Chain A
Amino acid sequence: MSGGHGMDGAQAIIGQEPRFLDYMHRLEDHKRGRRAVHVHIAQLQAESRHENHLGLAVNSFDDLVKRTLGQLFQMSNGDLIFVFRASVLDEVESIVVKLRFLFGEDPLLADDQDQPSGPFATWYDVEKDYATLLKLAQRLQMAAKQQRAYRVAKTRAPEARRAPAPTEPLTPELLASVEEALAQADLANHLRRQSVCVIVGHAQPKRLFDEVFISIADLRQTLLPKVNLASSPWLFQHLTETLDRRVLSLLIKGDDRSLSRDASINLNLATMLSEQFLVYDDNLPHNARGSIVLELQKTDIYADLGLYQFARDFAHERDYRICVDGLNHLTLPYVDRQRLGADLLKVVWSPEMTEPSPARDAFAEAVKRAGPSHIVLCRCDDPRAVDFGQELGIGLFQGRHVEIMLDAADDQKLARGRRRT
């Protein structure tokens, strides 16, 4: 790509209206096969725009800019315009989805979940829309005077809890022994992470955040090979809470800084109000909270909606995102995300979802109502999950299949890197 700015990477400088106008003029004879997207950061409400999120947004385009597949312009009001080759449309779309999550709690976006071209992002085909784009460049140039700002919204999904094969029932005594064993055990080795990714079209998945958890399935094999944990949902709930607290204390003590940003953790409401959580909160790097998702079990929420409301408001005040965990295609229609004031809903993928039935229709309707961009489809074990989710407009995925896609993408990146050197 011509222009010579590509190597600047994402270190765009605010107030590039003149450069953008100049670029548009130069493009006049090279319009074919190029697209542009205008991301309307400036229209976001002031409180949802955080300085540090601007950087995150700009960085998202880094990769494409470095590969000279597009150019990024940052306006003085904070708006971003990215002009790129049509061949990477899918990738750009997934970046825009990611940005949407960064700014997800803004009312501007609330009305904008379904249509690809809404108030948050405007898409252009440079060839067809050249005149419009040129006018836009001129207008921006004239109006160049405001500021930037910003902020992040995020989400996430679970995969942690897998039902085991049954035999003996779980009793209070067994639970006590297990929890006593857990208190002694070094669980650091059992800490797992799994990415929640944006996947748009056939583009490679982009990591949005990693869920950090202790796999109950693993633990069960070690501690309770014969016990059917599902035999008492309430005792099981108690066990998961104990584990969630252990994860929190591991995170507090641990030195893996990568877990203190773009991560999600499972919490119960009582723990959110605990001293331990406040210590965790203290230890997070400045401005990292906006990229941390707190996953709450639906059971915990509906057991005490008053406590949920209190904990949610506190979490939002601290800039965390709230994800309702433990949903499936049958329960989703019963959850009202907007009324609950949650940022994300995590739904377990199951092949049943794809079979035509009234339940499937109800699910599709519920996805639409909640806003597809607020849904994470998790436990995506096979490619059908992603295809199906995308059909419904869902962009966030988690699961073994997603991990495989990520690995493949990493391999490709590596290979590309080698070719260059």
Chain B
Amino acid sequence: MAALEGKAPGQEVTSQENLFLQAVERAGKVPDGRVVLHFHLSQLRAENRSTGHLRIALRSLEPLASAFRGQMFLLSDGDVVVLLTDAAPASIDAAVTRLRRLFGNDPLVFADSGDGENRFLTLYDLQRDYRDLFLLALDLEGEERRRRDTPQRKPPPPVDPRSLGRVIARLENADLRPMIRRQSAVALADRKSARVAFQEFHVAIADLQRVAAPDVQLTGNRWLFQHLSQTLDERVLAALQRLAVSRPPPAFSLNLNLATLACPGFRRFERWLAGRIGLVVELQLVDIFADLASYSVARDWLRERGHRVLLDGLSDLSIALCDVGQFGADLYKIHWRPELADGHGRESLRAALESLGVERVVLARCDSETAIRWGLELGIGVFQGRFVDAMLTAVRMGACEYAHRCTLVQCSQRHAAVDRAGRSACFAKAVLDGYQPFGLPPRRAKEKS
């Protein structure tokens, strides 16, 4: 408040929060028949609350607002509030249902039923709840002022064709090795014995961003980013042949563009590892769809050479909308999401995984033990993610005589790095690159059957 009082009158910005507070105060004088709907859209998953999503949400509420002398406010955190006068309950229900349906794939909507706690919407009847509403409006307004007065770093603009050209030029002579990371996927044959199935190597986007594109957001445009990744593929393949790692994993797993598989650089890479190291090529659904004919040729060629094709980036949604099994991949990678643990769509997912062949499924982005338990329960046997990294690091440190000199994070980061500089602080490189066998911690009592 104090900060604002210091400003000249003309400097005050009228925020939506401020307008909302004023509207609530005015409405409070004649509370009869007035309600406020507070949609907690800021709690949606990040990918579901883009400016576009919010725009559509507002559009979807417009008929309701215009029918009942409504006022809509898009708060700065992304929540939406609607003040209505004499609105028919049936019309409110219909509008809410419409909006819920639009966001039906978000846990905010599907996970809030049953327990009486509505996470999607709070409804205030001004006659009854004026005090609560007024305090809410006051808090929102204060919070918005605080946010506005705290200097915020503006995110860089999304990459455009011009800036992409500059980024590619900047990377032309850069050594990619310091930007490459590896992450293991672990096969749990049974809970007692685990082994590394393959290691995924990828360029860390944060590093790429820092080195070549401090001024633009590389992932801000899907197609341009995809083009960038394609221009980097062959160079990554070349860099992988000069790794500082002392002992290669049983198999490399690489995210590649389909088009790269037809390049001479890929053939060279394949000759380099043939017979020594296995290869898993991770492809995106969109890439396969863009050129199915090339996909089936490339897949068969890889298979003849003893390699495997992995269909990457799958979710319960993509499995529901598309029969991914028809692509005849060797492996299917599903990204873990915490809401899977709530049992949402579990049975249909189970059926889908069974028809894919659950032994072909890799569960990635496992950042908790819950993820692993969920996967094991469905019969999944291969896991990847931060939780898996932590397990592997703990096992590695248990086998390392210098463990007391390092932290878990340090050991984990050094293991992920594949260039000399990133690994230099490690005292026991053989252990760092070793593949120690290990088992899972014992089951909790309630899991025992």
Contacts and interface: CB of A to CB of B under 8 A. Distances in A.
Contact of B60 (A233, A306, A308, A314): A314
Given A234-B224, A310-B102, A176 B162 contact: yes
B33 to A, nearest CB: 28
Interface string B289-305: 11111000000000000
Interface string B269-295: 000000000000000111001111100
Contact of A306 (B48, B223, B290, B327): B48
B407 interface: no
Contacts of A310: 48, 53, 56, 102-103, 105
Contacts of A234: 223-224, 226-227, 230
A307 B105 CA distance: 10
A59 B363 CA distance: 56
Interface string B218-230: 0001111011001
Contact of B168 (A172, A179, A237): A172
Contacts of A176: 160-162, 165
Nearest to A328: B292
A274 interface: yes
B320 interface: yes
Contacts of A299: 286, 289-290
Interface stretch (A14-22, A81-89, A330-338): A330-338
B164 interface: yes
A278 interface: yes
A275 interface: yes
A270 interface: yes
B103 to A, nearest CB: 8
A270 to B, nearest CB: 7
A298 interface: yes
A173 B221 CA distance: 16
A173 to B, nearest CB: 4
A303 B284 CA distance: 8
**Which secondary structure dominates where chain B touches chain A?**
helix
A163 to B, nearest CB: 12
Contacts of A63: none
B322 A317 contact: no
A333 B98 CA distance: 32
Interface string B404-436: 000000000000000000000000000000000
A232 interface: yes
Interface in B143-188: 160-162, 164-165, 168
Interface in B313-352: 315, 317-318, 320-323, 326-327
A302 B160 contact: no
Contacts of B223: 234-235, 237-238, 241
Contacts of B292: 330-331, 334
B47 interface: yes
Interface in B102-120: 102-105
Contact of A273 (B50, B101, B318): B50
B72 to A, nearest CB: 14
A118 to B, nearest CB: 26
Contacts of A314: 56, 59-60, 102
Interface residues of B, number: 47
Contacts of A233: 259, 290-291
Contact of A238 (B55, B101, B224, B293): B224
Contacts of B48: 306, 310
A99 B285 CA distance: 36
B58 to A, nearest CB: 9
A275 B103 CA distance: 19
Contacts of B290: 233, 299
Interface string A307-340: 1111001100100000000000011011110011
Nearest to B166: A172
A273 B102 contact: no
B89 interface: no
Given A241-B223, A305-B321, A278 B162 contact: no
Contact of A278 (B59, B98, B227, B230): B59
A309 B285 contact: no
B237 to A, nearest CB: 19
Interface in A229-279: 232-235, 237-238, 241, 270, 272-275, 278
B52 interface: yes
Nearest to A272: B52
A172 B165 CA distance: 5
A173 B161 contact: yes
Contacts of A175: 161
B326 to A, nearest CB: 6
A306 B289 contact: no
Interface string B198-221: 000000000000000000000001
A384 B104 CA distance: 44
Given A303-B286, A313-B101, A336 B53 contact: no
A238 B286 contact: no
Nearest to B222: A303
A183 to B, nearest CB: 12
Nearest to A238: B223
> In the complex, which of the residues A172, A235, A306 has the most CB atoms of chain B within 10 Å of its own CB atom?
A172
Contact of A302 (B98, B161, B168, B286): B286
Given A274-B52, A313-B101, A302 B285 contact: yes
A298 B317 contact: no
A171 interface: yes
A339 B326 CA distance: 14
A183 B101 CA distance: 37
B322 A339 contact: yes
A307 B161 CA distance: 23
B229 to A, nearest CB: 9
Contacts of B320: 339
B52 A273 contact: yes
Contacts of A308: 321
B289 A334 contact: yes
A314 B61 CA distance: 12
Nearest to B159: A172
Nearest to A240: B223
Given A273-B52, A314-B102, A305 B227 contact: no
A238 B161 contact: yes
A309 B161 contact: no
Contacts of B164: 172
Contacts of B285: 302
B56 to A, nearest CB: 5
Contacts of B56: 273, 310, 314
Given A172-B168, A233-B291, 4 more contacts: A176-B165, A234-B226, A238-B161, A335-B322
Interface of B: 47-48, 50-53, 55-56, 59-60, 98, 101-105, 160-162, 164-165, 168, 221-224, 226-227, 230, 259, 284-286, 289-293, 315, 317-318, 320-323, 326-327
Shortest Cβ-Cβ A-B pairs, 9 listed: A273-B52, A176-B161, A172-B165, A303-B286, A234-B227, A172-B164, A234-B226, A175-B161, A176-B162
14 contacts: A233-B259, A234-B230, A235-B223, A238-B221, A273-B51, A274-B52, A281-B59, A299-B286, A299-B290, A303-B222, A314-B56, A334-B322, A334-B323, A336-B322
Interface of A: 171-173, 175-176, 179, 232-235, 237-238, 241, 270, 272-275, 278, 281, 298-299, 302-310, 313-314, 317, 330-331, 333-336, 339-340
